[in-house]
Amino acid sequence: MRKKHSTLDFDQVVLKNVKLWNGQKFEDRETVCVGLVNNKFSFCNQEDLDSEKTKVLDCAGALVMPALFGLGIDFMEPLRDDVYTFNDGLDAMHRGGFFGGLYESAANPIDDPEKLSAAIDRLLKDAYYSKLKIRFLGAFSKDFGSDSLSEMMELAFGLDDEDADFKGVIGFGDGNAAIPHSRFLRLAMEYGKMTGKRFFFQPMDRTLRKSGCVHEGAYSDMLGMKGIPRIAETIAAYTVLETARFLKVPVHFKQVTCGETLDLVRNARKNGIDVTCDVNLYHLLFDDSCLETLSSAYHILPPIRSAADREALWKGIEDGTVNAISMNHTPVLRQDTEVNFEDSVPGALSLEVALPAIWNELSSRVGEARAIELLSTAPAKLACVDTPAYVPEIGGTANFVILAPNKPRKVLESDFAGHVCNSPLVGKELPSTIVGSYIHGVFHVN
């Protein structure tokens, strides 16, 4: 049964026994008071604790940290609205502690202003979710094809909606499709350059990928699966970078999977190219040895690569090459996962489980401040969201997630919003647990 948001019966929340992030470190606090009406931190007094309008939650030493921002969010509308909806995805954001996200749907490309307006209307129609900081990527081509360009100028500047806190898409994406042929790529970036917006690419060469579904390596050979070589990514990335250099257009690489691509990014930056990149949560958690299980839960594109590639991604995070960690939250219908691996539909849910899955290793490798940056402020910056989401001072903005870092918990199917649960983490024990979240006046207890 879906959990209800707890905002109707009380006006404020008092968190007891927490470690509060103060912008530099976690500090012990006996009580932290949050007002649901004004969405602010405040002092606690005895009258507050005794009031029927106050909810008191003992956090037993859990961490209170800034809410997260999700890159690569796709709710796959219109897929089947009886299985997964836009609101299910927004519910998933609350469960996982996300105050916003960058949305791009492979199922419904935003390639004209009417589609952008419809997407915003879906967001605004629910009072619980309307304050979430959702930004949209526009498609640079019609239906993510390579035949005709989208209405990029209108998508970037033409929206006139008084209810929206932004007036157009923040950039242009490819719907995670393979890179189009070079001439069309140039035409798209040349036209899009006039908007000043960034282009977001998942670097993948169409002909080298062909029908591959896993990393080309020892495990694909052993299992007889069709592999996708690293050069399918690096050749596409090089093509994009050369076009960006020639046209002086800012670009972003989504879901980088191997160290060679990060080397290209490093060299491009040295040569003055404005290029950013992210790494997918699951490419940091797994390597291709997971294919031994033959579970379609690991069917993710771009593919999960080798242990050496996984470590190269971690090194890219540690040395600052990687700008952010992305979620790439994609629901897949159950009937499309309960088939042979190669016949399954790729994709994985991540919003509900991302923080407890990655926090301990991430914070141990790069420190708590950098970990929060990679999951919250850096992805928000890439999506042009600069409004402070968390100010841990009296009267400051209160958008946060509560994490018990040393409380293991097994991932259940019921942890996911909607009626799908396609995640490789289902049934696995995570090292930490989300206690709850407080996002734009909505308090959610897990």
Over residues 384-406, the mean pLDDT reads 86
How many Cβ atoms from other residues are within 10 Å of residue 155's Cβ?
Answer: 27
Strand (E) or helix (H) holding 217: none
Examine the pLDDT at 7 and tell me if it is beyond 70: no
The answer to whether the beta carbons of residues 187 and 159 sit under 8 Å apart is: no
> What is the predicted pLDDT for the residue at 6?
45
Non-local (6+) Cβ contacts of 240 within 8 A are 179, 185, 199, 201, 203, 251, 253
- CA neighbor of 202 nearest in space, from 271, 142, 277, 94: 277
> What is the predicted pLDDT for the residue at 251?
98
Strand partners, 101: 70, 134
The answer to whether the beta carbons of residues 268 and 275 sit under 8 Å apart is: yes
The answer to whether the beta carbons of residues 311 and 286 sit under 8 Å apart is: no
Over residues 62-86, the mean pLDDT reads 85
Non-local (6+) Cβ contacts of 81 within 8 A are none
Examine the pLDDT at 1 and tell me if it is beyond 50: no
Q: Per-residue pLDDT tens for 310-355?
A: 999 999 999 999 999 999 999 998 899 999 999 999 999 999 999 9
Q: Quickly count helices (H) and strands (E) in the chain.
A: 14, 19
The answer to whether the beta carbons of residues 65 and 21 sit under 8 Å apart is: yes
Mean pLDDT taken over the chain: 90
* Domain annotation for the chain: domains and CATH numbers: 12-64+394-445 (2.30.40.10), 67-382 (3.20.20.140)
**Residues 316, 266: Cα–Cα separation, whole Å:** 10
- Taking phi over 0 as left and psi of -120 to 50 as alpha, with beta for the rest, 347 belongs to left
- CA neighbor of 103 nearest in space, from 82, 77, 80: 77
> What is the predicted pLDDT for the residue at 4?
42
Examine the pLDDT at 252 and tell me if it is beyond 90: yes
Non-local (6+) Cβ contacts of 299 within 8 A are 213, 214, 337, 341, 344, 345, 346, 347
Strand partners, 138: 172
The one-letter code for the residue type at 443 is F
The answer to whether the beta carbons of residues 33 and 43 sit under 8 Å apart is: yes
Residue 247 Cα distances to 171, 179, 194, 243, 395, angstroms: 16, 17, 11, 6, 46
Q: Per-residue pLDDT tens for 124-134?
A: 777 677 788 99
Residue 397 Cα distances to 1, 95, 363, angstroms: 31, 19, 24
- 68-73 and 54-66 strand pairing: unpaired
Strand partners, 20: 27, 64
**Residues 318, 289: Cα–Cα separation, whole Å:** 24
- pTM for the predicted model, two decimal places: 0.94
Examine the pLDDT at 407 and tell me if it is beyond 60: yes
Strand (E) or helix (H) holding 267: helix 259-270
Non-local (6+) Cβ contacts of 23 within 8 A are 392
Examine the pLDDT at 119 and tell me if it is beyond 90: no
Over residues 85-102, the mean pLDDT reads 93
Q: Burial of 434 by CB count in 10 Å (0-12 exposed, 13-18 middle, 19+ buried)?
A: buried
Q: To which residue do tokens 């088939």 refer? A: 339
| Longest distance between any two alpha carbons in the chain, whole Å | 69
Higher pLDDT, 85 or 242: 242
**Residues 126, 133: Cα–Cα separation, whole Å:** 14
**Residues 279, 277: Cα–Cα separation, whole Å:** 7
- Both tokens assigned to 189: 């970036």
